[in-house]
Chain A
Amino acid sequence: MQKKDIGLATLVITVGAIVALVNPRFLSPINLANTANLIGLFGLFSIAEAFVIVTGGIELSIGSVIALVGVIFVDLVATFGVPWPIALAIVIVLSIFIGFLHGWLITRMKLQPFVVTLCGLLIYRGVARFYTQDGTAGFTFGSNFPMLEFLVSGRSAGVPHSVIAFAIVAVFAWFLLHRTVFGRHLFAVGKNAEAARYSGINTDRVVIQAYVLCIFLTGISAVFFAMYTRSVQPSSHGNFYELYGIAAAVLGGFSLRGGEGSIVGVVLGVILLQELQNLVNLLGIPSSLNFAVMGSVILAGVIADTQFARYREIRRQQIAKSALEESAKQ
């Protein structure tokens, strides 16, 4: 764990303790399970976003992809009666294709990631709304898919399966980003793409893989969301979720310039964001202030981080200087 992560973990625990003291309901099993479920759902695509941000890119279409994949999945299963494993396979292939398309446009057509994914945000939202003719895609009353529902929205020993999925993905992501050659290449491309190319790294392929991985994970999270809400309203489903993902990654120490960040950080970032949502609800703060609270905390966190970094720099300088004086005395 890096220093940054420890600081963030402390913040998560402190905020949790304060909320628990003011309103003991925070620690009730129901509240904890609900919050955990949300952490799992939001965590999946936040990790996805982190993989793109570490390359110095950005993915703005996450919310729209969640809406598009959501309506298609629900429609396939509920309206066309496609067996859910096949429907799942279809939407995963679709997600991989979208990710590949983004990566291809960015590397081969030399477009900026912001522009490509902003267009994606607009296009997929529009397609989702057109597909359902702005109606809601949902399961008809009484229909049920026990296996699918158990897997995606069930619980084992009281733990929501979304949390288990999130934990598994986080562990895989940690190994992938921090322990594999692919992870090293992601950091290298984000830090200095030119030097990466001169080091014999296939930078285009690394960037494409990052976007494929990102939208693939987003597609999985879309299925979880669709089963969580049970119906998908394409004009509002998943709105702003890309911003949650970016916020969690930034809180977790990812630099938007690329080449920095850790999976532990983004996991803690997701937890903190959901904790704040919960805080707004439990402390009776008007829910209209929801975003304002989140924004303030992120801003405070980023300011504190840069100030600590400066302080550490000054400390190091002082230590070096006193060492010099010591040696001068002798």
Chain B
Amino acid sequence: MNAQSGNPISLDLAGITKVYPGAIALNNVSLSIRGGEVVGLIGENGAGKSTLMKILSGAIAPDEGRMVIDGQEVEDVTPAQVNELGIALVHQELNPFSNRDVTANVLLGREIRRGRLGMLDHSAMEAKVEPILKLLGTRFGPRDAVSELSLADQQLLEIARALSINLRLLILDEPTSSLTMSETRRLLDVIRMLSAEGVAVLLITHRLGEIEEVASRVVVLRDGRNAGELEREAIEKDTMVRMMVGRDVGQFYRKTDHRPGEPVLEIKSLRTMAYPHQKVDLCVRSGEILCLAGLVGAGRSELARAIFGIDEVEGGSIFMEGAELSRHTVMDAVAAGICLIPEDRKAEGLFLDFSITENIAMPSHAALARKGFVDHEAETVLADKSREKLRIKAAHLDRAVAELSGGNQQKVVIAKWLAMNPRLIILDEPTRGIDVGAKAEVYHLMQELAAQGAAILVISSDMEEVIGVSDRVAVMCRGRISGILVRDALSEENILRLAVE
């Protein structure tokens, strides 16, 4: 244990600059945090939040700037040294050792041994872990299997791990993006409790409501620079949004009156792999936006994947504009005019090393080709048009998609499908992890496509979004549709009631 153990941290970053090929990630950024504070770090995607976080955690070194901890300047720190100073980072994606129990995960690398042979002292380890879990108020105990913990519990496990060392600064990166509402509540409680104990918490999130709730101060980044700070009293959603985008976003959700037309997609008694005993019936009409709401694990993504032909279908039938799909493969679905913007855009939506043009042209290669030969010119024209239409911020279309920010990557995924002129567009969590500005653009685009007569099926866990964008909401609960709500009946309570039914 080091000397400052237990002392509240005092950390200052000044003049931090980090340059990547082709982009300046951070330009003269400052940030300070003291023990007991909860600081919200917000900004659009590409604003430099993740880079700043990586610098704080010692994963990368800044090109310029100073990092002062407890009055001492630190340089070239490794992640291990940062840990030693009491700084812990809980990533967006968690990788616990799921084959070991909770205790082993919490004390990984710091196991307590006993005797000459150095055998693990299980009881001593459990005795150490137990009070930490109690402090956090977890529902799981030290002996529970990690493989059975929910995502929210795995997050608490990470925090417990941090607490078991000597936690003085906790950095949380998008901690609530895949949590349910009650789990989010619980996490916010834990944050409050930690700050009362003198721990500093740096919360990076796109959910401004959470910032309003817990943050004592908020730091805004824009285009790699400091865009200002707000103190507790001044924290307010509209102000934060304005600071993040540097302009008024305008009305976020713009409802237009769609006149739903003929049914585009009809599914009858469809049974998916996730819930083979539940039959789902659903109809999406031309010109309407239908939202699939429900808790994580209710079978919404599985339903989308079954419609798109990714997962096998256990039974039932799918009709597109009156014609039944005879085979359930992606190729047939695409041919029938269905497209899916997947939830995990990096793994399922994009080829990160490939160019923007190539990503956009991927589904349309065959359609654009001449006698099987790729038509470069047509593809460039297509990509250029998409860039203009969707306002993809990219200097060169032949650069790798990996270099784009999250919001722009999402636009590339949407662009690649719009090129196929789909009749039914399924969007699975289309705005997860993308910034406010891009969010507004995605909503606007959905409205526009619906107005042009496409049918839109959106899966979303963001209640505000569900209520804000949809004409109708179908709520799913354990594999079946527990109810359909129309415009006037749309409210958070009504949706939740059906979701937990």
Contact = CB atoms under 8 A, between A and B. Distances in A.
Interface stretch (B154-162, B289-297, B368-376): B368-376
B416 A320 contact: no
A2 B24 CA distance: 27
B374 A179 contact: yes
A71 B362 CA distance: 43
Nearest to A317: B21
Dominant secondary structure of chain B at its interface with chain A: mixed
Contact of B347 (A181, A195, A200): A195
Given A198-B310, A199-B416, A259-B353, A181 B348 contact: no
A82 to B, nearest CB: 35
B386 to A, nearest CB: 15
Given A192-B351, A324-B24, A185 B330 contact: no
A182 interface: yes
Interface in B469-495: none
Interface of A: 175, 179-185, 187-188, 191-192, 194-202, 259, 313, 316-317, 319-321, 324
Contacts of B97: none
A54 to B, nearest CB: 13
Nearest to B368: A181
Given A198-B308, A321-B63, 6 more contacts: A183-B374, A184-B358, A195-B350, A198-B340, A199-B416, A313-B21
22 contacts: A175-B373, A180-B373, A181-B369, A184-B365, A187-B354, A188-B354, A188-B362, A192-B350, A192-B351, A194-B347, A195-B348, A195-B349, A198-B330, A198-B340, A199-B363, A200-B331, A200-B363, A316-B21, A317-B20, A317-B21, A320-B20, A324-B27
B94 interface: no
A316 B399 CA distance: 14
A191 B354 CA distance: 9
Given A199-B362, A199-B363, A317-B20, A184 B347 contact: no
A180 B342 contact: no
A324 B19 contact: yes
A96 to B, nearest CB: 20
Given A181-B372, A184-B365, A197 B330 contact: yes
A200 B330 contact: yes
Interface of B: 17, 19-24, 27, 63, 308, 310, 329-331, 333-334, 340, 342, 347-354, 358, 362-363, 365-366, 369, 372-374, 416
Contacts of B330: 197-198, 200
Given A195-B349, A195-B351, A200 B21 contact: no
Interface centre among A191, A200, A202, A317 (most CB of B within 10 A): A200
A198 B310 CA distance: 7
A198 B348 contact: yes
A208 to B, nearest CB: 15
Contacts of A195: 347-351
Contact of B365 (A181, A192, A194, A320): A181
Nearest to A176: B372
A188 B340 contact: no
Given A191-B354, A317-B19, A198 B374 contact: no
B377 to A, nearest CB: 13
**Which 4 A-B residue pairings sit nearest by Cβ, starting from the closest?**
A316-B21, A200-B334, A321-B19, A199-B362
A58 B354 CA distance: 22
Given A182-B372, A188-B362, A198-B342, A320 B351 contact: no
Contacts of B347: 192, 194-195
Given A191-B351, A194-B347, A184 B374 contact: yes
A181 B20 contact: no
A317 B21 CA distance: 5
B436 to A, nearest CB: 27
A34 B55 CA distance: 58
A187 B362 CA distance: 11
Contact of A202 (B17, B22, B310, B331): B331
Nearest to B362: A199
A188 B351 contact: yes
B22 to A, nearest CB: 6
A124 to B, nearest CB: 32
Nearest to B334: A200
B304 to A, nearest CB: 11
Contacts of B349: 195, 198
A79 B305 CA distance: 57
Contacts of B334: 200
